[in-house]
Amino acid sequence: MPDALHLANLRALRPYAAVLALTLMTTPVPAQTMAPVANPVRVADLIDLPVVDGNKIPLGRVRGVARSDEGKIELLLPLGGLFGFGERLVPIPIETVALAGAAIIVLEVPPDRFQQSPTWYGYKSEPLAAGETLSINQR
């Protein structure tokens, strides 16, 4: 059973507790506080997934996955064109994206940079088979 002095101290702290609770409830928490975790995923599961930027604005859908002659894994994103005509494939390094539910989110590259990226022609890389497994960051 608390004594009178203890109760008096609790009553004196009550206004501060309310302010602290209100501060904790209204302080925004950063959306991405956890570091990405790499998880294995099949190439076939990545094909046709939407690619979005940090603001969830769609950039396109994964058309394919390739390994460059340097051994780097790249997602192939179609850009430009109209109804599939005139589009070009742009490679996105797999280190700069993360799997976020049923979409792939671009983490480190500004979306407008893709417009300036070189077109992927495939002569210095090889497409990965649908059954191949690779690691991709996951949020």
Burial class (CB in 10 A: 0-12, 13-18, 19+), 34: exposed
Cα(64)–Cα(76) distance, integer angstroms: 5
- Note the pLDDT tens digit of each residue in 102-123: 899 988 777 667 677 788 888 8
Strands 125-127, 88-93: pairing kind: unpaired
Q: Output the CA angle 68-48-38, nearest 5 degrees.
A: 60
pTM of the model: 0.67
Residue 55 zone, left/alpha/beta (φ > 0; ψ -120 to 50; rest): alpha
- Note the pLDDT tens digit of each residue in 20-49: 555 555 555 454 444 556 778 999 999 999
